Amino acid sequence: MLSFAEEIFLLALDDKQGVIKPLPVSALDYALAGALLMDLALQDRIDTDLTSLSVTSTEPTGDPILDDTLRDLQQKPEPQPTSFWLKYFADQSKRIQERVLARLIHKGILKQENRRILWVFEVRRYPLMDNHEVKEVKTRLRELILSDDIPDSREVVLINLGNACRLLDDLFTPAEYEKVRSRITALARLDLIGQEMAKSIREIERTMAIAMSMTMMA
Amino acid sequence: MNISESKQGNVTILKAEGKLDATSSPELDKRLSSLVESGTKQIALDLAGLDYVSSAGLRVFLSAAKRLKQAHGKLALANLSVQVQQIFDIAGFESILPVFKTVNEAVESCAI
């Protein structure tokens, strides 16, 4: 089974171009941070409520990225708000992305290609080698959202991550998406870490929009 | 956390008291799973004595509702404390789970 960080990375990848799709500002940084925390929560290492996140088990998961995350979470003696940790890990997103990419390449799901543009600029692309996992996740999420089924915790997390990065509309026709938009919102709300993550992304977008409008007015 | 069980007609009523967090949620999860596995199809949860629910606790309700729906059964919740109602409102759990003011209403909804 893929980790949430791997799944959201694959969902965010334009599989024809082998590059990350255009996403809201900082969305992937926060989605990867949220993905790590949500994986730890579903593996019973952390718990959250409306005020804080606490480590409930220090037993390693066996996943090196998650275990480093769990170690970092133990550095603060007092429980911190979930938003604090989301920012902490989002700030390390470049390093996390590199590790997630390396793992997807190692698993044979992606390959790395280096190309030169105008013989000078090197561009790195990550074409999909095996699209079975991506197809399976997309089909499962599409079917769940179109039905009135109750999601499991894993599906809630994936919907939350996909919605925060605005990647779920790719799964539907525009007419279908209009019909399922409210169900997506309702399902994405069911996870508290995911809610905090979506809130952080919205706040950054709002700040950027204000900054841009002030620049244009100046 | 304390869990007690009673019956009203075909509906099993589980009364949960205390805190539902990462430590206590496996106990409620196990209790609900074994009820569903043994063929119980209608369960009402009386949460009057539950004064705290964390993310781990919310996942127990979600998983029980899913299991019961797959078994063509019903889960209903009743008597939410102010604190638990607040977390349900924020997470929007009432869009997925039926919540009632009294245990009798929850039992009636399960029995239909």
**pLDDT tens across B22-60, in order?**
999 999 999 999 999 999 999 999 999 999 999 999 999
CB–CB contact B66 A151 (8 Å): yes
Cβ <8 Å between B22 and A44: yes
- Rounded Cα gap, residues A200 and A86, in angstroms: 8
Residues of B with CB under 8 A from a CB of A: 21-23, 52-56, 58-59, 62-63, 65-66, 69, 86-87, 90-93, 95-96
Task: Enumerate the domain spans of chain A.
Answer: 4-217
Compute the distance between CA of residue A83 and CA of residue A185 in angstroms, rounded to an integer.
20
Q: Does A45 have pLDDT greater than 80?
A: yes
Residue B15 corresponds to which amino acid? K
Q: Do B62 and A186 touch (CB under 8 A)?
A: no
d(CA B63, CA A183): 18
Q: Answer whether B22 sits within 8 Å of A190, measured CB to CB.
A: no
Q: Calculate the CA dihedral of residues A93, A98, A101, A105 and round it to 10 degrees.
A: -170
Contact A160, A144 (CB under 8 A): no
Nearest to A193 among B53, B55, B92 (CB): B55
Average pLDDT, chain A: 92
Q: What is the mean pLDDT of residues B85-96?
A: 94
* Residue A107 CB partners (closer than 8 Å, separation 6+): none
What is the SS3 assignment for A147? coil
> What does R_g of chain B's alpha carbons equal in angstroms?
12
Q: Please report, as a single letter, which amino acid is at residue B55.
A: S
Q: Can you tell me whether residue B76 is helix, strand or coil? A: strand
Nearest CA in chain B to A150: B66
Look up residue A24 and give its two tokens: 């809201």
Q: Going from the N-terminus, what domains does chain B have, and what CATH number goes with each?
A: 2-111 (3.30.750.24)
- Give me A168's structure tokens: 């779920």
Q: What is the fold of A4-217?
A: yeast vps74-n-term truncation variant fold (1.10.3630)
| CA pair distance B58, A155, nearest whole angstrom | 14
The verdict on a CB contact (< 8 Å) between B95 and A186 is yes
- For residue range A96-140, list pLDDT tens digits in order: 999 999 999 999 999 888 877 666 667 778 888 888 888 999 999
Spatial separation of the C-alpha atoms in residues B13 and B15, rounded to whole Å: 6
ipTM of the complex: 0.93
Q: Which of B55, B65, B90 sits opposite A150 (nearest CB)?
A: B65
Model pTM score: 0.93
Determine the Cα–Cα distance for residues A148 and A203; give it in Å rounded to an integer: 31
